[in-house]
């Protein structure tokens, strides 16, 4: 039996409060209708992530045996939800509701699910373009979904591109921050070409002698993230005021991760990089100022756009 919309919204609110305190706080900047839709979308993203990695609202990776079966479950439940059928899982029913309200379709969700498939297959990026293609699937495509939830026309390709750019910027920061954690879990999202050029073997990634090279790679990713973030800020100017404020605040909060990692150099992985409560408040204020200021006059072009990145990595 499908829960009614109010019950789904409440379950989604509880999920975001448990899974991401920062995202839950940022969602309060949206108007009530958009906020509910953001929660509904988050619930699906969170459920997919947890199923893919055998987790419960994040945390340490679970046993990776059975990953292919869990991926197929994600695909099956998502297809049922988009078809308007009850799934027996509140988060997928939540997707069904928000998809019907915002024009989300199987292409949009399929691009996100492709990222889970890459992880399930133990995929590694060979080139910088591969890495950016991965960033698209696990974060840029979510940015597109968020833009649709915020009312962007599905035919407005440029604004959707810029929403994608923000997700890519965030993911580049995440990859830089989580190099050590990913290595411990048997994953690596640094391009193999970068490692070869630096003389770093993946099996000994975190050896002390390799930390300066990793710091240089993190700095490189931070620079790339800054370019994608600048593109996204231009797109945010086209959103309604409260959505614009939320997006610009998030850009500051999460964009700071890559900058902090780069600033720490070889010591970046001694402790997990995060933003403090006071820093978040400062970025909320900066987001408000930015939301009132309008679009930036000059915006650098990003190396690759959404369409290129969606095709960069072979689907699994």
Split at pLDDT 50, 70, 90, the class of 262 is very high
49 found inside a domain: no
For residue 55, what are the contacts with CB-CB under 8 A and spacing of at least 6? 49, 61, 62
- 186-239 pLDDT per residue, tens: 899 999 999 999 999 999 999 999 999 999 999 999 999 999 999 999 999 999
298 found inside a domain: yes
CATH number for 235: 1.10.600.10
Structure tokens belonging to residue 78 = 């998502």
Residue 52 in contact with residue 74, Cβ under 8 Å? yes
237 found inside a domain: yes
Range of weakest confidence among 35-44, 127-136, 287-296: 287-296
94 found inside a domain: no
User: Does position 165 have pLDDT exceeding 60, yes or no?
Assistant: yes
Split at pLDDT 50, 70, 90, the class of 62 is low
pLDDT at residue 45 in the model: 95
pLDDT at residue 316 in the model: 62
274 found inside a domain: yes
Question: Which region holds residue 103: left if phi is over 0, alpha if psi is between -120 and 50, else beta?
Answer: left
User: Does position 64 have pLDDT exceeding 80, yes or no?
Assistant: no
Residue 106 in contact with residue 142, Cβ under 8 Å? no
Mean pLDDT confidence for 10-36: 89
Split at pLDDT 50, 70, 90, the class of 57 is low
Which residues constitute the domain of residue 299?
153-316
pLDDT at residue 125 in the model: 96
261 found inside a domain: yes
pTM, full prediction: 0.93
> Is the model more confident about 99 or about 121?
99
Mean pLDDT across the chain, nearest whole number?
92
Other CB atoms within a 10 A radius of the CB of residue 190 amount to: 26
Domain count, the chain: 1
User: Does position 22 have pLDDT exceeding 80, yes or no?
Assistant: no
CA–CA gap between residue 274 and residue 261 (Å, rounded):
9
């Amino acid at each position: 039996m499908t829960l009614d919309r109010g019950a789904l919204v409440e379950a989604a609110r509880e999920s975001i409060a448990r899974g991401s305190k920062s995202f839950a706080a940022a969602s309060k900047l949206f108007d009530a209708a958009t906020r509910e839709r953001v929660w509904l979308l988050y619930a699906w993203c969170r459920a997919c992530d947890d199923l893919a990695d055998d987790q419960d609202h994040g945390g340490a990776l679970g046993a990776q045996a059975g990953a292919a079966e869990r991926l197929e479950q994600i695909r099956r439940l998502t297809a049922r939800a988009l078809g308007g059928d009850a799934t027996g899982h509140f988060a997928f029913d939540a997707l069904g509701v928000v998809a019907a309200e915002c024009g989300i379709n199987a292409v949009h969700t399929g691009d996100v699910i492709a990222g889970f498939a890459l992880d399930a297959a133990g995929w590694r990026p060979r080139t910088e373009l591969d890495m950016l293609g991965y960033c698209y699937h696990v974060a840029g495509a979510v940015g597109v979904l968020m833009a649709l939830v915020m009312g962007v026309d599905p035919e407005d390709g440029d604004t959707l591109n810029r929403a994608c750019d923000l997700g890519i910027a965030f993911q580049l920061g995440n990859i830089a921050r989580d190099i050590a954690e990913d290595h411990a879990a048997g994953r690596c999202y640094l391009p193999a070409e970068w490692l070869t050029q630096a003389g770093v073997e993946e099996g000994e990634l975190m050896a002390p002698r390799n930390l300066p090279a990793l710091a240089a790679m993190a700095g490189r990713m931070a620079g790339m993230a800054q370019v994608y973030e600048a593109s996204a800020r231009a797109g945010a100017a086209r959103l309604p005021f409260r959505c614009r404020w939320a997006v610009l605040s998030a850009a500051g909060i999460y964009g700071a991760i890559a900058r902090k990692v780069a600033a720490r150099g070889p010591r970046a992985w001694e402790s997990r990089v995060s933003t403090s409560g006071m820093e978040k408040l400062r970025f909320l204020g900066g987001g408000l100022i930015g939301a009132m200021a309008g679009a930036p006059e000059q915006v650098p072009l990003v190396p690759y756009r959404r369409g290129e990145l969606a095709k960069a990595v072979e689907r699994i």
